[in-house]
A and B are shown apart, each in its own frame.
Chain A
Amino acid sequence: MFDTPLDIMLTIGLVILSISTLGLVYRVIKGPSVPDRVMGLDSIGINLIGITAITSIILRTDAFLEVILLIGIIAFVGTVAFSKFLQKGEIFDRDRSN
Chain B
Amino acid sequence: MSLIHLVILSPLILAIFVPFLHKYFRQIHTGWFVLILPILLFIYFIGFIRSSMNGETYISTMNWIPSLGINFTVYLDGLGLLFALLITGIGALVVLYSIYYLSKEKEALNTFYVYLLMFMGAMLGVVLSDNLIVLYSFWELTSFSSFLLISYWYQREKSRYGAQKSMLITVFGGLAMLAGFVLLYIMTGTFSIREIIANVDIVTADALFIPALILILLGAFTKSAQFPFHIWLPDAMEAPTPVSAYLHSATMVKAGIYLVARMSPIFAGAPEWFWLVSVFGLITLFWGSFSAVKQTDLKGILAFSTISQLGLIMSLLGIGSAAVYYDYLDDNIYTVATMAAVFHLINHATFKGSLFMVVGIVDHETGTRDIRKLGGLMNIMPISFTLALIGSFAMAGLPPFNGFLSKEMFFTGMLHATQIDAWNMDTLGILFPVFAWLASIFTFVYSMILVFKTFTGKYQPEKLDVKPHEAPIGMLISPIILVSLVVIFGFFPNLLSPSLIGPAVSSILPDYFLIEDINIYFWHGWTPELFMTIGVVAFGTFLYLTVAKWGKIYEWFPQRLALNRFYDGGIVALERGSNKFTNSYMTGFMRDYLIIIFGFMVLLLGALIVKLDVFTFNTADAADVGFYEVILAIVMVIATLTVIISKSRLTAIISLGVVGYSQALFFVLFRAPDLALTQLVVETISVALYLLVFYHLPKFKVEITRLRFRLTNFIISVAVGLIVIIIGISANSSRLFESISSYFEAVTYTEAGGKNMVNVILVDFRGFDTLFEGTVLVIAAFGIYMMIKLRLADKKGGVEGEGK
* Shortest Cβ distance from residue A95 to the other chain B in the assembled complex, whole angstroms: 7
Q: Is A83 an interface residue (CB 8 A)?
A: no
Interchain CA distance A37-B632 in the complex, whole Å: 20
Q: Are A67 and B635 in contact (CB under 8 A)?
A: no
Interchain CA distance A22-B630 in the complex, whole Å: 12
Q: Give the A-B contact count at a CB cut-off of 8 A.
A: 88
Cβ contacts A7-42/B at 8 Å (1 or 0 each)? 000010011001001100100110000100100010
* Shortest Cβ distance from residue A46 to the other chain B in the assembled complex, whole angstroms: 12
Chain B residues bordering chain A, tally (CB within 8 A):
36
Q: Are A67 and B680 in contact (CB under 8 A)?
A: yes
Given contacts A55-B668, A70-B681, is CB(A28)–CB(B676) below 8 Å?
no
Q: Are A61 and B671 in contact (CB under 8 A)?
A: yes
Contacts of B804 in A (CB 8 A): 94-95
Closest chain B residue to A69 by CB distance? B677
Interchain CA distance A90-B642 in the complex, whole Å: 26
Q: Are B681 and A48 in contact (CB under 8 A)?
A: no
Contacts of B655 in A (CB 8 A): 28-29
* Shortest Cβ distance from residue A98 to the other chain B in the assembled complex, whole angstroms: 12
Contacts of B634 in A (CB 8 A): 22
* Shortest Cβ distance from residue A38 to the other chain B in the assembled complex, whole angstroms: 8
Q: Are B695 and A89 in contact (CB under 8 A)?
A: yes
Q: Are B627 and A67 in contact (CB under 8 A)?
A: no
Contacts of B651 in A (CB 8 A): 29, 37
* Shortest Cβ distance from residue A63 to the other chain B in the assembled complex, whole angstroms: 4
- Of B420-428, B591-599, B684-692, the segment with at least 4 beta carbons within 8 Å of chain A is B684-692
Q: Is B243 an interface residue (CB 8 A)?
A: no
Contacts of B163 in A (CB 8 A): none
Q: Is B661 an interface residue (CB 8 A)?
A: yes
Q: Is B788 an interface residue (CB 8 A)?
A: no
Contacts of A25 in B (CB 8 A): 635, 638-639, 658
Contacts of A95 in B (CB 8 A): 804
Contacts of B691 in A (CB 8 A): 82, 85, 91
Closest chain B residue to A62 by CB distance? B673
Cβ contacts A69-92/B at 8 Å (1 or 0 each)? 011001001100110010001110
Contacts of A63 in B (CB 8 A): 671, 673
Q: Are A28 and B635 in contact (CB under 8 A)?
A: no
* Shortest Cβ distance from residue A1 to the other chain B in the assembled complex, whole angstroms: 8
* Shortest Cβ distance from residue A77 to the other chain B in the assembled complex, whole angstroms: 7
Q: Are A52 and B684 in contact (CB under 8 A)?
A: no
Given contacts A44-B661, A66-B673, is CB(A28)–CB(B680) below 8 Å?
no
Q: Are A67 and B658 in contact (CB under 8 A)?
A: no
Interchain CA distance A94-B642 in the complex, whole Å: 34
Interchain CA distance A85-B669 in the complex, whole Å: 33
Q: Are A70 and B680 in contact (CB under 8 A)?
A: yes
Q: Is B102 an interface residue (CB 8 A)?
A: no
Q: Is B631 an interface residue (CB 8 A)?
A: yes
* Shortest Cβ distance from residue B674 to the other chain A in the assembled complex, whole angstroms: 9
CB-contact partner of B688 in A22, A51, A89, A91, under 8 A:
A91
Closest chain A residue to B653 by CB distance? A37
Interchain CA distance A18-B635 in the complex, whole Å: 9
Interchain CA distance A7-B676 in the complex, whole Å: 23
Contacts of B695 in A (CB 8 A): 85, 89-90
Q: Is B803 an interface residue (CB 8 A)?
A: no
Contacts of B658 in A (CB 8 A): 25, 28, 41, 44
Closest chain A residue to B624 by CB distance? A1
Q: Is B801 an interface residue (CB 8 A)?
A: yes
Q: Is B650 an interface residue (CB 8 A)?
A: yes
Q: Are B680 and A34 in contact (CB under 8 A)?
A: no
* Shortest Cβ distance from residue B667 to the other chain A in the assembled complex, whole angstroms: 9
CB-contact partner of B676 in A22, A59, A67, under 8 A:
A67
Residues on B lying within 8 angstroms of A by beta carbon are: 626-628, 631-632, 634-635, 638-639, 642, 646, 650-651, 654-655, 657-658, 661, 664-665, 668-669, 671, 673, 676-677, 680-681, 684, 687-688, 691-692, 695, 801, 804
Question: Which 4 interchain pairs have the tightest Cβ spacing?
Answer: A63-B673, A18-B631, A74-B684, A67-B676
Q: List 27 A-B contacts (CB under 8 A).
A: A18-B635, A22-B635, A22-B638, A25-B638, A29-B642, A29-B651, A29-B655, A34-B650, A41-B654, A41-B657, A44-B661, A45-B661, A63-B673, A66-B673, A67-B673, A67-B680, A70-B680, A71-B680, A74-B684, A77-B684, A78-B684, A78-B687, A85-B691, A89-B695, A90-B695, A94-B801, A95-B804
> What 4 additional pairs, Cβ within 8 angstroms, besides A14-B628, A67-B676, A82-B691?
A29-B642, A63-B671, A77-B684, A81-B688
Residues on A lying within 8 angstroms of B by beta carbon are: 1, 11, 14-15, 18, 21-22, 25, 28-29, 34, 37, 41, 44-45, 48, 51-52, 55-56, 59, 61, 63-64, 66-67, 70-71, 74, 77-78, 81-82, 85, 89-91, 94-95
